[in-house]
């Protein structure tokens, strides 16, 4: 019986024809419920019933013999090749359909009546996908020795024995791997409890610190930026513009420098001209290259850190690097000459160290002019010079003046005179202090030093 030959009868039954039934015009069906056949019998299309033997084999339908005019006897089959009659296959006893269930009967080539199998629904896509994944996983696991291998059809006991031995070896490999892993975990736990690993880690700690270059370099860079920002906030003149990259500018804002005094170098090719000082961080040096010292800022006034994280503070030469270098020597000569004239004034007194610094031309020109003006009013005694930049041989911008006979009245008069000056001779700081003894007047100008005040050519 072929499953694709099934069809529905007009009254709702299932009509099935095969090649022989179609040729002879014989087909049988079971109505949906108009008439019930007696137990153990089936209905034909003409309405007659065919009784089934009690042994379970179906009786042949009259007129539905084999094609070609063969004369098969009832209850027997005739071999098409002429080999004689053969016994018909036994057919299970038919059961009565459940209420509401449709079932049909069909006559095969042998004339036997058989009930077709019930229709089965197609599986859902989810079931198909789950079955596919299950089969794929089971095949992969069997390839690596996990799971049960199915013996090939026709394989004998030898194949079964080989498969059993392979499964045994695979199971032993997995067990051995689990044992080794458990032993390793127990060993590590024992070492941790005994403190051996902690001692080894503490012993390797000091040796590993030099290798942690990233952390140490980051700390050094942060320290250099912080020191440079603090120095600029304290030493650079309060009316000077500072050029800086965004990171340094943020640090300078944190030190209290107003945003109006900052010139951020945010874009590539930014020009620092217009500022008085530039904080040359590693990023600024990388951006400007050699032009930083040859064109924009030839004078170093302070330096912090070392190596790649170094941060320099340089003076901007707004007339260009070449003009600044050309004016350096004449300016030094003018400072030495003004200092020598000051030392020859009988109203001026200085310690030996201070006198040597004046002679060497190391004192800022603004201080020399201020001292000469004060000496024209009264006697002046200089105790020391100071306020140089770290890491840079720059001019001394601070002076400490002692009072005559320890009298603060003269110092107060000098303080009033100094505070009445105008730029560039107005100091950033001027105050009377008492460092554990007689009062002194401390005057300080901001960085950078101004070039050309004594030589007549300012840059």
User: Crossing angle for the helix pair 213-235 and 246-254, nearest 10 degrees?
Assistant: 60
The full DSSP string for 267-293 is STT---BTBSEEEE-HHHHHHHTTHII
Name the pLDDT band for 398 (thresholds 50, 70, 90): very high
Question: How many H-runs (helices) and E-runs (strands) does the chain carry?
Answer: 12, 18
pLDDT at 80: 44
Is 0.85 topped by the overall pTM?
Answer: no
pLDDT higher than 90, residue 311 = yes
Rounded Cα distance between 167 and 143, Å, is 11
pLDDT higher than 70, residue 36 = no
Lowest-pLDDT range of 106-120, 150-164, 338-352, 433-447: 106-120
Rounded Cα distance between 360 and 336, Å, is 6
How much is the average pLDDT of 68-82?
A: 45
Rounded Cα distance between 198 and 157, Å, is 59
Burial 25-34 (b: 16+ CB within 10 A, else e): ebbbbbbbee
Residue from 263, 201, 202 nearest 232 by CA = 263
- State what percent of residues in the chain have pLDDT above 70: 57
Give all strands of the β-sheet with 105-107 in edge-to-edge order: 6-8, 14-16, 105-107, 113-114
DSSP helix/strand/coil, 26: coil
260-284 pLDDT per residue, tens: 999 999 887 788 999 999 999 999 9
pLDDT at 387: 85
Q: Provide the mean pLDDT of the chain.
A: 74
113-153 pLDDT per residue, tens: 455 554 556 777 777 777 887 787 677 666 666 555 555 55
37-55 pLDDT per residue, tens: 444 444 444 444 444 444 4
pLDDT higher than 80, residue 337 = yes
Q: Which two tokens stand for residue 205?
A: 């700690």
Q: Is the peptide bond before 123 cis (omega within 30 degrees of 0)?
A: no
How much is the average pLDDT of 79-102?
A: 48
pLDDT higher than 90, residue 164 = no
pLDDT higher than 50, residue 16 = no
pLDDT at 166: 61
Q: What are phi and psi of 257, to 5 degrees?
A: -80, 130
Lowest-pLDDT range of 170-184, 279-293, 391-405, 440-454: 170-184
How much is the average pLDDT of 239-258?
A: 96
How much is the average pLDDT of 210-220?
A: 71
How many angstroms separate the first and last alpha carbons of the chain?
114
Rounded Cα distance between 372 and 344, Å, is 11
pLDDT at 30: 44
Lowest-pLDDT range of 167-176, 265-274, 315-324, 378-387: 167-176
407-411, long-range: CB < 8 A, 24+ apart: 408/432, 408/438, 408/439, 410/378, 411/439, 411/440, 411/441
């Amino acid at each position: 019986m072929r499953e694709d030959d099934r069809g529905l009868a007009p009254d709702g039954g299932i009509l099935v024809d095969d090649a022989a039934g179609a040729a002879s015009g014989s087909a049988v069906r079971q109505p949906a419920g108009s008439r019930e056949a007696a137990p153990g019998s089936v209905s034909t299309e003409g309405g007659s019933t065919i009784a089934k033997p009690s042994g379970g084999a179906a009786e042949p339908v009259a007129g539905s013999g084999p094609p070609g005019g063969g004369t098969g006897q009832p209850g027997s089959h005739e071999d098409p090749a002429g080999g004689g009659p053969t016994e018909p296959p036994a057919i299970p006893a038919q059961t009565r359909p459940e209420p509401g269930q449709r079932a049909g009967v069909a006559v095969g080539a042998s004339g036997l009546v058989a009930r077709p199998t019930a229709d089965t629904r197609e599986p859902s896509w989810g079931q198909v996908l789950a079955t596919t994944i299950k089969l794929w996983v089971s095949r992969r696991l069997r390839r690596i020795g996990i799971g049960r291998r199915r013996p090939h059809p026709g394989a004998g006991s030898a194949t079964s024995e080989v498969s059993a031995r392979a499964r045994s070896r695979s199971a032993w490999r997995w067990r051995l791997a689990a044992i080794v892993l458990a032993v390793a975990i127990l060993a590590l736990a024992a070492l941790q409890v005994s403190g051996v690993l902690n001692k080894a880690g503490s012993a390797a700690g000091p040796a590993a610190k030099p290798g942690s270059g990233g952390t140490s370099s980051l700390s050094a860079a942060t320290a250099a930026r912080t020191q440079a920002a603090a120095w600029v906030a304290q030493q650079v003149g309060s009316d000077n513009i500072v050029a800086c990259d965004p990171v340094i500018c943020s640090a300078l804002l944190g030190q209290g420098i107003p945003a109006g005094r900052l010139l951020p170098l945010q874009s590539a090719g930014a020009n620092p001209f217009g500022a008085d000082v530039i904080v040359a961080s590693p990023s600024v040096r990388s951006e400007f290259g050699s032009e930083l010292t040859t064109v924009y800022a030839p004078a170093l006034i302070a330096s912090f850190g070392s190596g790649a994280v170094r941060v320099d503070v340089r003076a901007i030469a707004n007339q260009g690097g070449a003009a600044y270098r050309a004016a350096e020597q004449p300016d030094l000569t003018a400072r030495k000459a003004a200092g020598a004239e000051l030392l020859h004034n009988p109203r001026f007194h200085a310690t030996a160290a201070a006198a040597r610094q004046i002679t060497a031309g190391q004192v800022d020109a603004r201080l020399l002019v201020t001292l000469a003006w004060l000496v024209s009013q009264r006697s002046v005694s200089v105790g020391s010079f100071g306020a140089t930049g770290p890491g840079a041989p720059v001019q001394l911008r601070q002076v400490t003046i002692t009072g005559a006979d320890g009298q603060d009245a003269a110092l107060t008069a000098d303080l009033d005179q100094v505070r009445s000056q105008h730029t560039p001779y107005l100091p950033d700081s001027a105050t009377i202090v008492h460092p554990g003894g007689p009062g002194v007047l401390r005057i300080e100008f901001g960085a950078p030093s101004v070039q050309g005040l004594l030589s007549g050519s300012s840059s």
